[in-house]
């Protein structure tokens, strides 16, 4: 094998690859003799650098494919990297390329006995994890409603490298005790979860130096994608494999570190030079995606962050259109502005599929969905369900359908035991049987069975309370739809159950339900609302290139569009209230940077002077990020008429 650090004598195929690189990309590819951090700005070709570097190493004989380890964060990224490699070199057999979890699972298969499990272990997913925790909670007489928050806590501990035996763990806390029982339980099942894949390999490396030395000797080059998204366990694992940084190349962007809420530690990339004092940093700053004004606005905005390594992205293309900033009177007007601007862009031959609405939180999609439906604009919610297709929304809508029409057996079936009130399969079987026998609705069947002794006392009480709730709301003709829905949410315990979960998912569901309450104010009665829902759910399906994309900012990373709309730029909305309380504004600014840099040609930012959030009108200040945008690269739209204006 050749020694790394020189590019003399490269073969013709390698020369061809390098000819497609700019100067900084070239430097990143051919630097092999020291720890390397490639700071890759948005749209600067990081995947091209990674794949070319691997092919360059192989084609020039610096390492065999089996001596290269390349880790990614998603199976999609791993597949894309492998496909690109095949286009550069056909000599990739044996390369260790995959996600952190996939690579660790492969290592663990060889050494499972060293941590007391068999090589035939199974990997459980998040649903299995939650089921096991619920079983444990039932055994120790803790309400199962706490299962999601405990599962989340255990996952965060594992992200930080904290095992159930770790001295840093508060073993006397409720979560600590459940963590210990949970680990014992899955071990007895000869199973591991995703967090264990890393923790077990770290444990093997710590307790068996010979095994660690084997893998240190095996991998001559280690390449890491999206290094800014690594958590502490992943960081520990990488440092153990390459303590001095020999052959390590990490590619990432500290300005796009937006996942701290799921365990990512931006400090991992920020301290790269401290970890490896002789390290080299190559900055990829030439952007191949966006026009000049878009990049100028994004670069100036992110420069306000103090905790960053620093770079300025630029482009050789023309400046293009300035970033347009629109002030609107309220959320309704903002949605109208977006819809009408999209229609104008479409007339300029911008396909709907090349347009995206980027928002901070999922609940914001409702007003845009309503407006797009009114305008006949096709859309999809990327990475999630449309507003009225979300589980929690469908649950409460089913309650409203049942209140409107008790013969709606599908609605009865959906909510009679939601939230769980002990009306299980046995009781439902009785309802079905009587419904078929007498050709009546399930609701009527339940009413008749309630008068008999066919149900257990606890089930009878629960069913009676449920039916009384429905009947009482049917009789209250004076109540507004919002008041009916609020009564359902409170009296059924739906809200309190979500509050007790204390997870990001449950918080998102609460935000969606509060947005539903706002939506209900636009309808005079249940009949009108239910007709509206039927039309929404039955809306026609379009191919993906014919639909506008509605996406949260966190889900937009890695995507690009001809035109993007960044909506809801108000204090408390973006930056989000939770981030303000946690003093995590820098990550919110990184999120804004990610959002702006998704745009190729057009970027619009909008904010509302008044917005109804969680059923109350708020007059939030414009987002601080607006004042941090450079005047040279933005243009304030002077006038957009108010409704009826």
Q: Which of 46, 153, 289, 322 is catalytic?
A: 46
The secondary element (H helix, E strand) that includes residue 329 is strand 323-330
Q: What is the DSSP string of 422-457?
A: S--HHHHHHHHHHHHHHT--HHHHHHHHHTTT-S-H
How many Å apart are CA 596 and CA 324, to the nearest integer?
A: 11
Helix 504-520, helix 147-159: angle, nearest 10: 130
Q: Three-class SS of residue 543?
A: coil
Q: Which of 89, 256, 328, 597 is catalytic?
A: 256
Catalytic residue among 33, 34, 47, 128: 47
113 is catalytic: no
Residue 256: active-site member: yes
Question: Residues 53, 390, 598, 612: which is the catalytic one?
Answer: 598
Distances (CA, A) of 639 to 329, 330, 602, 629, 635: 11, 14, 19, 20, 12
Give the residue from 394, 404, 396 showing the smallest Cα distance to 477.
404
With the C-alpha atoms ordered 525, 526, 530, 536, is the resulting torsion angle positive or negative? positive
Q: Which one, of 422, 465, 586, lies nearest residue 594 by Cα?
A: 586
- SS3 category, 577: helix
Question: In 331-442, at which residue ranges do the beta strands (DSSP E only) sit?
Answer: 355-359, 379-381
**Contact indicator for 431, 445 with CB cutoff of 8 Å:** yes
CA distance 104 to 405: 55
Catalytic residue list contains 2: no
276 upstream amide cis, omega within 30 of 0? no
Enter the DSSP assignment of 321: S
- What is the end-to-end Cα distance of the chain in Å, rounded? 75
Consecutive H or E run containing 281: strand 280-284
Catalytic residue among 225, 333, 570, 586: 225
Is 225 known to be catalytic?
yes
| Phi, psi of 538, rounded to the nearest 5 degrees | -95, 15
Q: How many residues in total does the chain contain?
A: 645
| Residue appearing with tokens 């002789």 | 278
Contact criterion met (CB below 8 Å) for 569 and 605: yes
**Quick check: is 351 catalytic?**
no
Q: Report the C-alpha gap between 273 and 485 in whole angstroms.
A: 56
Is 234 known to be catalytic?
A: no
Q: How far is CA 589 from CA 256, 266, 554, 614, 620, in A?
A: 9, 14, 12, 24, 18
- Phi and psi at residue 97, to the nearest 5°: -130, 120
Q: Are 463 and 455 in contact (CB under 8 A)?
A: yes
The CB-based long-range contact list for 494-500 (8 Å cut-off, 24+ gap) reads 494/392, 494/395, 494/396, 494/418, 494/419, 497/145, 497/419, 498/392, 500/143, 500/145, 500/146, 500/149
The CA-based angle 96-79-599, given to 5 degrees, is 130
Active site residues: 46-47, 225-226, 256, 598
């Amino acid at each position: 094998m050749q020694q790394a650090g020189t590019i003399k004598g490269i073969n013709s195929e390698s020369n061809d690859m390098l000819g497609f690189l700019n100067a900084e990309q070239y430097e990143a590819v051919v630097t092999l003799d020291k720890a390397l951090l490639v700071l890759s700005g948005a749209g600067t070709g990081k995947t091209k650098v990674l794949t070319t570097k691997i092919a360059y190493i192989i084609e020039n004989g610096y390492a065999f494919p089996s001596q290269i380890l390349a880790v990614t964060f998603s199976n999609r990224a791993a597949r894309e990297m492998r496909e690109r490699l095949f286009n550069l070199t056909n000599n990739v057999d044996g390369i260790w390329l995959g996600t952190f979890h996939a690579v660790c699972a492969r290592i663990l298969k060889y050494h499972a006995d060293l941590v007391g499990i068999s090589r035939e272990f199974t990997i459980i997913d998040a649903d299995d994890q939650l089921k096991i925790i619920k079983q444990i909670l039932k055994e120790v007489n803790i309400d199962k409603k706490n299962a999601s928050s405990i599962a989340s806590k255990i996952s965060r501990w594992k992200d930080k490298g904290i095992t159930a035996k770790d001295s840093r763990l508060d073993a006397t806390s409720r979560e600590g005790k459940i963590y210990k029982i949970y680990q014992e339980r899955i071990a007895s099942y000869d199973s591991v979860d995703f967090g264990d894949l890393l923790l077990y390999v770290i444990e093997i490396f710590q307790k068996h130096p010979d095994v660690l030395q084997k893998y240190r000797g095996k991998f001559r080059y280690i390449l890491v994608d999206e290094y800014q998204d690594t958590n502490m366990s992943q960081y520990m694992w990488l440092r153990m494999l390459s303590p001095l940084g020999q052959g390590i190349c990490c590619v990432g962007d500290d300005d796009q570190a937006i996942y701290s809420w799921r365990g990512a530690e931006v400090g991992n990339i920020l301290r790269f030079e401290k970890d490896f004092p002789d390290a080299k940093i190559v900055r990829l700053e030439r952007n191949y995606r966006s026009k000049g004004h878009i990049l100028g606005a994004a670069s100036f905005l992110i420069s306000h962050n103090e905790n960053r390594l620093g770079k300025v992205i630029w482009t050789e293309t023309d400046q293009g259109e300035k970033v347009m900033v629109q002030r609107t009177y309220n959320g309704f007007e903002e949605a109208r502005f977006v819809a009408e601007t999209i229609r104008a862009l479409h007339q300029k031959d911008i396909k709907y599929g090349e347009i995206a609405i980027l928002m901070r939180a999922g609940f914001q999609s409702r007003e845009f969905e309503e407006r797009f439906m009114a305008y006949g604009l096709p859309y999809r919610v990327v990475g999630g369900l449309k507003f009225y297709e979300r589980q929690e929304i469908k649950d409460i809508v089913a309650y409203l359908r049942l209140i409107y029409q008790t013969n709606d057996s599908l609605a009865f079936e959906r909510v009679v035991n939601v939230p769980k009130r002990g009306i299980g399969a046995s009781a439902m079987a009785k309802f079905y049987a009587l419904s078929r026998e007498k050709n009546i609705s399930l609701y009527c069947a339940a009413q008749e069975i309630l008068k008999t002794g066919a149900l257990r006392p606890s089930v009878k009480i629960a069913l009676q309370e449920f039916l009384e709730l429905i009947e009482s709301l049917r009789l209250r003709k004076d109540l507004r739809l919002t008041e009916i829905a609020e009564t359902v949410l409170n009296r059924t315990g739906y809200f309190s159950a979500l509050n007790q979960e204390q997870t990001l998912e449950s918080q998102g569901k609460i935000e969606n339900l509060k947005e539903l309450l706002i939506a209900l104010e636009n309808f005079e009665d249940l009949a009108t609302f239910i007709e509206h829902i039927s039309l929404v759910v039955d809306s026609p399906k379009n191919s993906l290139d014919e639909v506008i994309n509605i996406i949260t900012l966190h889900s937009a990373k890695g995507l690009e569009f001809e035109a993007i709309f960044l909506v809801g730029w108000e204090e408390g909305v973006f930056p989000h209230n939770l981030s303000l309380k946690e003093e995590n504004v820098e990550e919110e600014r990184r999120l804004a940077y990610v959002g702006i840099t998704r745009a190729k040609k057009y970027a619009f930012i909008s904010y509302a002077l008044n917005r109804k959030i969680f059923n109350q009108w708020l007059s939030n200040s414009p987002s601080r990020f607006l004042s941090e945008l450079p005047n040279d690269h933005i243009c304030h739209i002077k006038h957009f008429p108010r409704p009826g204006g």
